[in-house]
Amino acid sequence: MRILTDPADVDAGLAVFRTAMVGMRPRPPHPEGDVFTLVEKGRMVGGFIGDQLVGAADSTTGELTVPGGARLAHAAVTRVGVLPTHTRRGVLSALMRAQLGGQRDRGVAVATLRASEGTIYGRFGYAVASELRTLRIEKKDAVLRPEVAAAVDRGAVRLVDAEDQALPQRIVTAVPAARPGTITRGDQWWNNRRLWAEATPGPRYLAVHGAAGAEDGYVRYRPADTAGWFTSPERTVIVEELYAPSAAARRDLLAFLLGLDLVDVLELPDRPVDDALPHLLTDPRAARTTAVGDETWLRLLDVPAALATRSYAGTPGDAVILAVDDPLLPANTGVYRITAGGATPADPGAEVDARVDVATLAAAYLGGTPWRVLAEAGLLGGAAPGDRVVTVLDRLFAVPEAPFAGVMF
């Protein structure tokens, strides 16, 4: 295992990933031959057998927003793959161990990824920490409630050049989303997004919200099919991204989308599970959930820092002594006292209320999975559904908004 720093090796790592994924389109040439416009230098781990590169795992640096609004140093793990000729030989396990240890040594507190399969990453301490849903809006039935429609500022939304990457990047940086699970996006993310758009033909549109120089949200959208657009009985628009941290921006951008002519259906594939959008309509059923799936897979690399950084709800008397086990990163193994005022290492000899592995803690960390669910699944050692400790944990880890990132990488 070694970090890939030579551009040719990084290119080879990208090729390994695409070969492992089977169904991906060929990668377009990177700009001016500089692969480090797409891949952060010094982050890709390569696995070799002799001189042959047989596996790779990449990541980019950034920050993850946690409950309470603080941010933790974060690694967005991506491009993980092993050549099909070398699977089932421990290559992936070695890559993950090298990546996890290397990230922690760099001072990274948390890592997240989007999993191609649900059975791979749990054994490395990852767990599903947020979900998303797909909404399908039948436009003929989608009418804003009168009081919502009266508040819409139709002059706040304007179309801009769909190829403009600088403006959305500036909006995301200037107006960060406060939901737990939100991640920052580096230059490589924006460069990859641009190349993906260039390699995917067809019309695209970009509308922004707010006055010039003070924009606070945007929506990207495209038609699902252009070949039969004018004769189709169900002309569908795919909303690729609706970035609108404020309720006003979400309302105005939704009104803009509902006002599109020649459109029968709006599909929004990446929305938080507690999205208020259906409730803005006179008929909430006009915005139908067609799918729910896992989004953020979270790995806690520095448990003491992660527990100490997020805020907790509950009452002043709420306290739990939680034992955490992490066989891959033993420095995380320990006993922690969690109260409404914060989390600290427990006093030596403190009586433990419940025991978890690091993946179970990750599932609950952002507030996306209730502890009662984990207890019912048998993942909370020493506690069962209905026990006081489970009730207290649910109060402590409660969040006002469901975690959601809304970003693929």
Q: Which residues are catalytic?
A: 121, 409
What single-letter amino acid sits at 197?
Answer: A
Judge contact between 188 and 407, C-beta under 8 A.
Answer: no
User: Which three-class secondary structure state does DSSP give residue 271?
Assistant: strand
Name the β-bridge partners of 200.
Answer: none
Name the β-bridge partners of 58.
Answer: 78
CA 81 – CA 83 distance, rounded (Å): 7
Length of the chain measured in residues: 409
Angle at 146 between CA 271 and CA 237, to 5 degrees: 35
Judge contact between 47 and 195, C-beta under 8 A.
Answer: no
Name the β-bridge partners of 135.
Answer: 268, 289
What single-letter amino acid sits at 358?
Answer: V
Q: Which tokens sit at 144? A: 């804003």
User: Which three-class secondary structure state does DSSP give residue 284?
Assistant: helix
CA 286 to chain centre: 26
What single-letter amino acid sits at 71?
Answer: R
Q: Is 353 exposed, middle or buried (0-12, 13-18, 19+ CB in 10 A)?
A: buried
Residue 206: other Cβ atoms inside 10 A: 20
